[in-house]
């Protein structure tokens, strides 16, 4: 999305006959057609001094003046949302994030987030690391549970951010995935970038990608399922979920990366397993992925600290159910 400020477009032969919203979008870096159309409808764009509609056909020689208004500042309110705190001092707080809790406000989630809860719990947090994500050094997906560290001072935020950037943070996850493995451990080294057709998803087949490495090891075996411990060398968006799906072992419950065919055939593929287990597999609505351990160096004391978050109830209960049926 373009930054706040004025712009001028001198239409030439390449713009002749094109819709105004398309011309504006093509000349402004990061501008979508819908964003351009909204600018035009709000009369923030004029052609030769006159307001036009988004469908106006541009002529060569038209002088298009426009202005992108500054985004209205968002004020995030403190909310008394319960937090499972694993550790806290005057420099940082370590949270066991519950599944379903969004980390920071975004379109569609301006309240009920971890940031809203933190602003209530730590009133002095506002402004540390930026207004939009106060105190947040890293994040977990909405439906991923587990350990997350939050900085309470600007110095702690800077120190922790440098550790993440230098890949000096210890991150261990537990993931319940479909399928069984022949080996005890392995490494997935596949680049990750935006999906070429679906911008909300990530992919190992993106044209613009970054290196990504995921190390896995068997924690517990079940019939048709495996509980893995996963160590991230890199920290790309949806990395574990994308990498597990790429080797045909998608995370159980993942609504985005598990193949539709897998869910259609689940009763057939798990025909030797009790119906109650199959029913549970079909009913799980969020990925069975838990940020189990988090290790870092304390920004003030220099002490190496490692925190372990207990597994969330839904994941723990399903694993117990597998063990009770002797499916290991």
Instruction: Catalogue all structural domains in the chain, each as residue range(s) with its CATH number.
Output: 5-68 (3.10.290.10), 73-166 (3.30.2350.10), 167-328 (3.30.2350.10)
**Structure pTM?**
0.76
Phi/psi of residue 310, each to 5°? -60, 145
Q: Which residues of 124-163 are buried (b: 16+ CB within 10 A; e: fewer)?
A: ebeebbeeebbbbbbbbbbbbbbbbbbbbbeebbebbbeb
**In angstroms, what is the C-alpha Rg of the chain?**
24
Q: What is the pLDDT of residue 74?
A: 56
287 closest CA partner among 204, 210, 230: 230
Q: What is the pLDDT of residue 292?
A: 98
Q: What is the pLDDT of residue 72?
A: 56
> Which tokens in the block code for residue 168?
């000096």
pLDDT along the chain (328 residues), means of 10: 74 95 89 86 94 95 90 74 96 97 78 92 79 86 96 92 93 96 97 85 88 97 96 92 96 92 80 86 94 97 97 96 83
Q: What is the pLDDT of residue 91?
A: 95
Q: What is the pLDDT of residue 1?
A: 46
Strand partners, 192: 210
58 closest CA partner among 10, 2, 8, 7: 10
Say which of 141, 198, 279, 320 is annotated catalytic.
Answer: 141
* 141 annotated active-site: yes
What is the spatial distance between Cα 246 and Cα 194, in angstroms, rounded to a whole number?
A: 14
Strands 145-151 and 289-297: parallel
């Amino acid at each position: 999305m373009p930054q706040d400020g004025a712009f001028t477009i001198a239409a030439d032969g390449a713009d002749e006959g094109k819709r105004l919203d398309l011309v504006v979008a093509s000349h402004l870096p990061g501008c979508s057609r819908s964003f351009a159309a909204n600018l035009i409808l709000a009369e923030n764009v004029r052609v030769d001094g006159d307001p036009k509609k988004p469908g106006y056909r541009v002529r060569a020689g038209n002088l298009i003046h426009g202005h992108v208004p500054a985004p209205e500042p968002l004020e995030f309110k403190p909310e008394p949302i319960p937090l499972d705190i694993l550790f806290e001092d005057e420099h940082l707080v370590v949270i066991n994030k519950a599944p379903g809790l969004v980390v920071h406000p975004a379109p569609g989630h301006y309240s009920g987030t971890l940031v809203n809860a933190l602003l209530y719990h730590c009133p002095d947090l506002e402004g540390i690391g930026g207004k939009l994500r106060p105190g947040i050094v890293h994040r977990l997906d909405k439906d991923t549970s587990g350990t997350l560290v939050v900085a309470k001072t600007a110095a702690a935020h800077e120190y922790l951010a440098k550790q993440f950037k230098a890949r000096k943070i210890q991150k261990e996850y537990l993931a319940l995935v479909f399928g069984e493995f022949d080996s005890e451990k392995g490494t997935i080294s596949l680049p990750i970038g935006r999906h070429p057709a679906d911008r909300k998803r990530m992919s190992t087949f993106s044209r613009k990608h970054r290196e990504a490495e995921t190390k896995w090891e068997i924690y517990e075996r079940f019939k048709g399922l495996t509980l893995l411990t996963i160590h991230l060398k890199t920290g790309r968006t949806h990395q574990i979920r994308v990498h597990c799906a790429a080797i045909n072992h998608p995370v159980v419950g993942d609504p985005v990366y598990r193949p539709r065919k897998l869910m259609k055939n689940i009763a057939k593929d798990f025909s030797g397993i009790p119906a109650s287990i199959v029913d549970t597999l079909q009913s799980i609505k969020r990925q069975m992925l838990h940020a189990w351990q988090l290790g870092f160096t304390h920004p003030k004391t220099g002490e190496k600290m490692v925190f372990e978050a207990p597994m969330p109830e839904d994941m723990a209960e399903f694993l117990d159910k597998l063990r009770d049926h002797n499916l290991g």
